[in-house]
């Protein structure tokens, strides 16, 4: 089962499972938060495969218990994404990121042989003071979104201890690549660059991010779902090569061979100055490490934007 199956990471994950001969139950509310038409088109495409079953609905209102009975692993990706959006509507973020996670855990508690992989976030670390950040660092989120992800992890720990479940939290670091959401930075910048418009940048561009390519994230996510390991495991999933926003803009300019105009605005509340994840634990436990250099990943995302989304305003 893949919750949030119509989303950026979700569609890539479903594709990979189906390509490997697996069967998927996909759940998504298709909420009109971003790219509604594009997500429905993705569901239409996925539904052409007879091994994909789609259920449209809010997880908090779908009866999961019977569905989970025949599921080996749940990849719980559904969430209300976005740091900035979480300041505006914490109620929605709470429903989608915390209450829905407990709903999934309740269903697994009734079917304890089902494994769970939960999409957490580097936002749980807040403004870290050591890099790369290990999983052992105390959590200190600086945005409501980060708070919801930290709460989700806490729920997994509680359920693992009380119901002897096999649960894994993956702390994704700034995922990018083809099909990235329209409100995310790389998609906005690439579309602006292709259309000859100024690129909107929050802050001075010196912020550093550990960008992680979506295919690498999907590989880590699938590996985390293999095998029953009792308890709650937590891993960083990071790209391994932190770069500044200004360096990314230079790469886009070079790959497109165009001069780019940049318009700076105030830094966004809740965004840390730097992120960077220590992946030694997941390398040791799951033999996973990122393989996609950021310039290659950017090239792939640019090609996707040329073919699909270049004509839409961000």
Tell which phi-psi region holds residue 177, choosing left (phi > 0), alpha (psi between -120 and 50) or beta. left
List the structure tokens of 85: 């959006």
Task: Point out the catalytic residue in the list 145, 159, 172, 213.
Answer: 145
Instruction: Pick the closest to residue 199 from 180, 185, 183 (CA basis).
Output: 185
Phi, psi of 76 (to 5 degrees): -95, 90
Instruction: Pick the closest to residue 118 from 159, 69, 152, 80 (CA basis).
Output: 152
Q: Which are the contacts of 181, defined by CB distance < 8 A and separation ≥ 6?
A: 7, 8, 34, 35, 81, 187
Torsion over CA: 108, 290, 93, 52 (sign): negative
Chain-centroid distance, C-alpha 295: 20
Q: Please, which contacts does 41-47 make with residues 24 or more away whose CB atoms are closer than 8 Å?
A: 42/6, 42/11, 42/179, 43/5, 43/6, 46/5, 46/11, 46/14, 46/15, 46/18
Q: Is 176 a catalytic residue?
A: no
Catalytic residues: 145
């Amino acid at each position: 089962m893949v919750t949030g199956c119509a989303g950026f990471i979700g569609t890539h994950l479903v594709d990979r499972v189906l390509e490997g001969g697996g069967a998927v139950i996909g759940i998504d509310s298709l909420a009109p938060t971003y790219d509604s038409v594009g997500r429905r088109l993705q569901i239409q495409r996925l539904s052409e495969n007879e091994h994909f079953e789609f259920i449209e609905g809010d997880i908090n209102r779908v009866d999961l218990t019977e569905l989970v009975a025949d599921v080996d692993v749940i990849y719980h990706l559904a969430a209300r994404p976005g740091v900035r959006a979480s300041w505006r509507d914490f109620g929605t973020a709470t429903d989608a990121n915390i209450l829905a996670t407990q709903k999934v855990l309740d269903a697994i508690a009734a079917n304890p042989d089902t494994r769970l992989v939960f999409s957490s976030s580097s936002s749980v670390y807040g403004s870290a003071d050591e890099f790369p950040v290990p999983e052992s660092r105390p959590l200190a989120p600086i945005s409501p979104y980060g708070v919801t992800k930290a709460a989700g992890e806490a729920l997994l720990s509680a359920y693992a201890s009380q119901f002897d479940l096999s649960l894994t939290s993956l702390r994704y670091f700034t995922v990018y690549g083809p099909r990235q959401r329209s409100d995310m930075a790389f998609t906005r910048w690439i579309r602006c660059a292709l259309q000859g418009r100024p690129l909107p940048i929050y802050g001075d561009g010196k912020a550093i991010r550990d960008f992680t390519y979506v295919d690498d994230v999907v590989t880590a996510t699938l590996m985390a779902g293999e095998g029953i390991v009792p308890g709650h495991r937590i891993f960083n999933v990071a790209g391994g090569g932190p770069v500044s926003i200004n360096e990314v803009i230079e790469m886009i300019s070079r790959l497109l061979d165009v001069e780019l105009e940049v318009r700076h605005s105030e830094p966004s509340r809740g965004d840390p100055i730097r992120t960077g994840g220590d992946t030694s634990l997941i390398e040791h436990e799951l033999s996973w490490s990122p393989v996609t250099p950021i310039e290659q990943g950017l090239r792939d995302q640019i090609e996707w934007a040329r073919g699909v989304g270049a004509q839409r305003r961000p």
